[in-house]
């Protein structure tokens, strides 16, 4: 049985033309009723989407099967907004949510994910829509403090984010967030005090003094904050500047009735963690070719999602044949890269400080082909595949730059390999 469209001939015999009977909406309705979705897609694309609104309205009262056919036609024609609307009308939220994301309608995508119980995906979509409070609430509901902290930081709520990073024990993320908080508001007392405390505890008391002095110069509140001034005085004494400490104490106002706030305790300097801004870890990450075009805020946001891992001699960072975990940047020690496992494995490369492995697994899903083993004790910054996916989803400008550079670098590798044959 033929399912071709019906046409009528208009005009005279020498200069006439065939036109479809009933117009695009009727023709699309007939095609979809017969489940000829691909033919409907072609007609929809050819008619400039003139029947779009009519089809969306008809889908409300249509049968479930016809609704699905209409939605599928919209999806195949890349009209994701219309597809999402019809899928939502079918209560097929698993299909509607990705369509709304493709259409950049992140609020409706979030609502669909939320109805499905996909709390993390809903939170990410709300964050992309700029509804940070909704995103943070859902991340908290899901128990994902790391993503909650990142959402707060990306939303400019740096002090709250720093507090969460502190609870998580993520020192370098806390430091980065505090630095941004102070740069944004130089007279902010709480983040300045905490950052000065961390600097002091890790052997940078002179820098902590400079930070506190800058805060005092920037803020009337800081100039009259007895806790901050007392801490500054103690730091000046610890750096052999007793005369300046006396002058600072002379400016401390009488304590209010509620009493002064606790003053950070001066203690012996701790070893500087490798992954703090005082080390070179941030510079190593910034030097990676695929991140070369990231703006400062995007780069610091990426650094915050890193975690530090340690490996003993002989431990594998990456094993062949397993799903790629993510990117490792070596900040201390050396690793060896082998072509496989067992006696037939071949040493391909030895990487030291600043080297990196696993970057392809950030963007491409699939098993790894090499084994990477710690030759010495190793410390590495690690960005998991999942954390990176969340990062690029939440920072589309950074994502575009990363994918462009990654594609360029990958193409260069292919050209190099082809030339060597």
Residue 257: inside a domain: no
Model confidence at 137, in pLDDT bands (50, 70, 90)? very high
Residue 297 sits in the same domain as residue 326: yes
136 and 76 together in one domain = yes
The pTM score is: 0.76
* The domain boundary residue, chosen from 90, 122, 141: 141
pLDDT digits (tens, 9 = 90+) for 31-69: 998 999 999 999 999 887 778 888 898 888 888 999 999
Q: What is the pLDDT of residues 372-385, one digit of tens each?
A: 999 999 999 999 99
Q: Which of 120, 141, 162 is the last residue of a domain?
A: 141
With a cut of 70, say whether residue 149 has pLDDT above it. Answer: yes
Please spell the DSSP secondary structure of 258-282, one letter per residue.
T-PPPPPPP-PPPPPPTTSTTSSHH
Instruction: Determine, yes or no, domain membership for 343.
Output: yes
Bridge partners for 18 per DSSP: 9
Question: Is pLDDT of 226 > 50?
Answer: yes
- CATH number of the domain enclosing 389: 2.60.120.10
pLDDT band for 294, please (50, 70, 90 cuts): very high
Average pLDDT of the residues in 266-281: 54
Quick one: average pLDDT of 335-350? 84
What are 11's two structure tokens?
């005009």
Question: 22 falls in which pLDDT band (50, 70, 90)?
Answer: low
Regarding whether 169 and 84 lie in a shared domain, the answer is no
Does residue 262 belong to any structural domain of this protein? no
Structure tokens at 205: 């008391």
What's the CATH code of the domain at 171?
Answer: 1.25.40.10
Give the count of domains, the chain: 3
Nearest to 326 by CA among 295, 302, 350: 302
Place of tokens 């992309």: 128
236 shares its domain with 305: no
Tell whether 314 and 299 lie within a shared domain.
Answer: yes
> What share of the chain in percent tops pLDDT 70?
87
CA-CA-CA-CA dihedral for 210, 211, 214, 216, to nearest 10: -110
pLDDT higher than 50, residue 349? yes
Q: Are residues 79 and 61 in the same domain?
A: yes
pLDDT at 47 (0 to 100): 86
Summarize pLDDT for 96-124 with one digit per residue, the tens.
Answer: 999 999 999 999 999 999 999 999 999 99
Helix (H/G/I), strand (E/B), else coil: 383: strand
Q: Is the pLDDT of residue 308 over 60?
A: yes
Let me know if residue 78 belongs to a domain.
Answer: yes
Give the structural domain span for 134. Answer: 23-141
285 and 411 inside one domain: yes
Residue after which a domain boundary falls, among 141, 175, 208: 141
Structure tokens at 143: 């128990």
The pLDDT of residue 313 is above 80: yes
Regarding whether 410 and 285 lie in a shared domain, the answer is: yes
Looking at the fold, whether 151 and 231 belong to one and the same domain comes out as: yes
Q: What pLDDT shows up at residue 307?
A: 87
Residues 133 and 152 grouped into a single domain: no
Q: Given this model, what pLDDT does residue 277 score?
A: 37
Q: Are residues 151 and 133 in the same domain?
A: no
């Amino acid at each position: 049985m033929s399912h071709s469209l019906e046409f009528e001939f208009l005009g005279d015999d020498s200069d006439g033309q065939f036109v479809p009977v009933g117009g695009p909406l009727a023709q699309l309705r007939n095609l979809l009723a017969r489940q000829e979705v691909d033919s409907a897609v072609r007609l929809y694309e050819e008619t400039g989407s003139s029947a779009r609104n009519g089809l969306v309205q008809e889908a409300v009262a249509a049968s479930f099967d016809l609704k699905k056919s209409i939605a599928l036609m919209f999806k195949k024609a890349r009209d994701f907004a219309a597809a999402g609307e019809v899928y939502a009308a079918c209560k097929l939220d698993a299909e509607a949510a990705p369509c709304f994301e493709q259409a950049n309608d992140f609020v409706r995508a979030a609502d669909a994910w939320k109805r499905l119980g996909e709390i993390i995906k809903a939170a990410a979509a709300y964050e992309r829509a700029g509804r940070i409070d909704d995103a943070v609430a859902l991340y908290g509901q899901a128990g994902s403090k790391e993503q909650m902290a990142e959402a707060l930081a990306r939303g400019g709520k740096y002090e709250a984010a720093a507090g969460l990073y502190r609870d998580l024990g993520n020192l370098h993320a806390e430091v980065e967030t505090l630095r941004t908080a102070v740069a944004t508001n130089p007279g902010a007392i709480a983040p300045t005090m905490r950052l000065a405390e961390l600097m002091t505890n890790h052997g940078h008391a002179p820098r902590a003094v400079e930070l506190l002095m800058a805060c005092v110069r920037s803020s009337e509140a800081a100039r009259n904050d007895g806790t901050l001034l007392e801490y500054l005085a103690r730091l000046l004494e610890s750096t052999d500047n007793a005369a300046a400490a006396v002058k600072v104490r002379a400016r401390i106002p009488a304590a209010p009735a509620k009493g002064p706030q606790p003053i950070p305790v001066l203690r012996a300097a701790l070893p500087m963690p490798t992954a703090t801004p005082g080390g070179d870890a941030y510079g190593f990450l910034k030097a990676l070719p695929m991140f070369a075009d990231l703006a400062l805020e995007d780069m610091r946001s990426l650094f915050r999602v890193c975690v530090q891992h340690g490996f003993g001699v002989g431990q594998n960072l990456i094993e062949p044949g397993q799903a790629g975990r993510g990117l490792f940047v070596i900040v201390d020690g050396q690793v060896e890269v082998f072509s496989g496992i067992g006696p037939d494995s071949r040493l391909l490369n030895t990487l030291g400080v600043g080297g990196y492995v696993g970057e392809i697994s950030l963007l491409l899903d699939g098993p790894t082909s090499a084994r990477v083993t710690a030759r010495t004790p190793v410390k590495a910054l690690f960005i998991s595949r999942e954390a990176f996916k969340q990062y690029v989803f939440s920072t589309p400008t950074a994502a575009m730059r990363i994918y462009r550079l990654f594609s360029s670098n990958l193409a260069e590798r292919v050209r190099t390999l082809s030339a060597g044959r």
